[in-house]
Chain A
Amino acid sequence: MKRKKVGYYFNESGKYAILAFFAIWTIVPLFIVISNSFKREMDIFSLPFKLFFRPTLDNYRRAFVTGEFNKYFLNSLIVALTSSLFSVGFGVLAAYGFTSFRLRSTKFLNALLVLGKSLPAITILLPLFVILSKLRLLGGYFGPIITHTSINLPFVIWLLIGFINDTPRDLLSAAQIDGCSKMRAFRLVLLPILTPAISSAVILSLQYSWNEFMFALMLTNIDTYTLPAAISKFVGSISVDWGKSSAAATVTMLPIVVAGFFAQKYLVRGMTLGAVKG
């Protein structure tokens, strides 16, 4: 009995040791970039790593006041909000179409969604770049918005279909017996019930679009870069301006981490729904 107890305690502390190590592994890189963003150059380039230093906002000033990152922030916002609006809006309509009407080509259409979901971004980007350049549609917001919308659509549709299939059918039938048309029943009955699923779709669409890089880099130009594209241009140069790029990186991750924190429930549900259900 005694031996077992010793083993138990060892496991107990081992468990917390592993979790503590993992917490450190998660936090340290974040801490480094955030603290660098408040450091002066001489503090960034001092050894060993400085835990205590006189904080400065100079890096933020150089990135967002005298630099151009405020513009890129606005670009990110425009692209993320517009593409999420489209993907969720059209996704809701399509999910309702799939679940409430007897369609014959469901299997084929779903195969298209699976194909769209599994295409490597580069497979789409190369020909799309050629097509858009012939149509003179490169360089604006058009490219990132349509690609982000399209890439989010399959997932949004599946998420909502899963949710609609879970809501009691009687609710919709009852509304229809009461004289509602299918579309009215959709608006008055289903849409309010779908709010949590729509929230999941919104936060995940925003997260994808805010963070996406390849399309945002290649289909835009120096005036319409989103934050990730702009940051990559910084890091690509030979000597990295760590102070400025740390400030830009911090501002890039802040909104989506905060949004993710407040919408954690929806985020987790959206991410796990497809994997765990069924």
Chain B
Amino acid sequence: MTGYLLLSPAFLIILLVMIVPLLFGLVFSLFDFQFGSGGGLGAFIGLRNYLGFFRNSSGLQSLKVTFMFTAIALTGELGMGLLIASLLMRVPANLGSLLRTIFCIPMLISPIVVGLIWRYVYDPTYGVVYGLLRAVGLKSLFGGLSTPGWALVCVAFADIWETTPFMILVITAGLACVPPELYEAADIDGAGRTRKFVSITIPMLNKVLAVVILVRGGDAFRVFDIIYVLTAGGPANSTLSLSIYAFKEGFVKYQMGYAMAVSLITLAILAGLFGPLTKISTNPEQLR
């Protein structure tokens, strides 16, 4: 009995703040629920909110944007993280820990502040990016936050800036667990650097990579804050992620029922994409 008593405060909160709203959301999403109209729940429309999403051009656009953002951000931060983490293993320990401390700063900062910073960095008149491009005469190639083709890339870069540190930290911890004998043995067999990376580092990091892809991929798929500050979904819906779309439908257009359907579609895709990875990752098995 004491055991359950100990669990009760934590699970009561999780139940009331997460599970109950989730169930409410499931129910609301079946109604033509317009919040603030004073008319209660509105008509029961079954799955029409869900079907409507896949027929709506903005809806499909947000799906595409979310996948693209996740792919760009995840590839960027994983590549950078792997590169920097493995380079940090090969510098003197003092320098390595100093650099690691510096590299970690962005991860601690609120995405809202990160967004503010990058708004200024991307500013067409005063920003550093345009300044540099102007100096080398390539300014006309770059569209910044105001052209549909570039905005998503710009937003993804700001996200990569913020989240690469997490990758560096976790991959460094993973690399530290690889037994050095493996590399020594490979040296004796005459393996080159690339070969060692492909045949030893990557397989040994298997589980760590699965976890970081799970954690960061899930975060990228749910992206909201940084887009909200940098572009709020524009220009021309080119950075409209699923979370931003659901937010706008709910709180700007008051289409709460539809917005909840969108957010639940997000959850379903998330589970489908990353659910299989949870089997490789560790957490659940830590329970006895």
Q: When A and B form their complex, what is the total count of cross-chain residue pairs whose Cβ atoms lie within 8 Å?
A: 294
Q: How many chain B residues touch A (Cβ–Cβ < 8 Å)?
A: 98
Q: Known: A47-B131, A120-B243. Contact between A128 and B21, CB under 8 A? A: yes
Closest approach, in angstroms, between the C-beta of B42 and any C-beta of chain A?
12
Task: Report chain B residues within 8 Å CB of A99.
Answer: 288
| A271 and B170 form a contact (CB under 8 A) | yes
**In the complex, are the beta carbons of B126 and A130 less than 8 A apart?**
no
In contact, A90 and B208 (Cβ under 8 angstroms): no
Those of A234-252 within 8 Å (CB) of chain B: 235-236, 240, 242, 245-246, 249, 252
- Kindly supply a per-residue 1/0 record for chain A positions 228-271, scoring 1 wherever the CB is within 8 Å of any chain B CB and 0 otherwise: 11011001100010100110010011001100110010011001
Query: Which residue in chain B gives the minimum CB-CB distance to A107?
Result: B287
* Residues B103 and A123 in contact, CB atoms below 8 Å apart: no
Interface residues in A, total, Cβ within 8 A = 105
Please state if A128 and B17 are interface contacts (CB–CB under 8 Å): yes
Q: Is the CB of A101 within 8 A of B2?
A: yes
| B contact patch SS | helix
User: Which of B4, B108, B119, B260 is within 8 Å of A127, CB to CB?
Assistant: B260
A109 and B7 contact, CB distance less than 8 A: yes
Chain A positions within 8 Å of B115 at CB level: 235
Are the CB atoms of A276 and B13 closer together than 8 Å? no
Chain A 88-113 near chain B by CB (<8 Å), digits 1 or 0: 01110110111111110011011011
Chain A binding surface, main DSSP class: helix
Q: What B residues does A207 contact at CB under 8 A?
A: 108
Specify which of B88, B90, B91, B224 is in contact with A122 (CB 8 Å cutoff): B224
Indicate which residue in A32, A123, A274 contacts B128 across the interface (CB closer than 8 Å).
Answer: A32
Contact indicator B14/A252 (Cβ below 8 Å): no
- Where the two chains meet, the residues of B that have a C-beta atom closer than 8 Å to any C-beta of A are 2-7, 9-11, 13-22, 24-25, 28, 35, 80, 83-84, 87-88, 90-91, 99, 101-106, 108-113, 115-121, 125-126, 128, 131, 161, 166, 169-170, 173-174, 177, 208, 211-212, 215, 218, 221-222, 224-225, 228-229, 232, 242-243, 246-247, 250-251, 256, 259-260, 263-264, 266-267, 270-271, 274, 278, 281-288
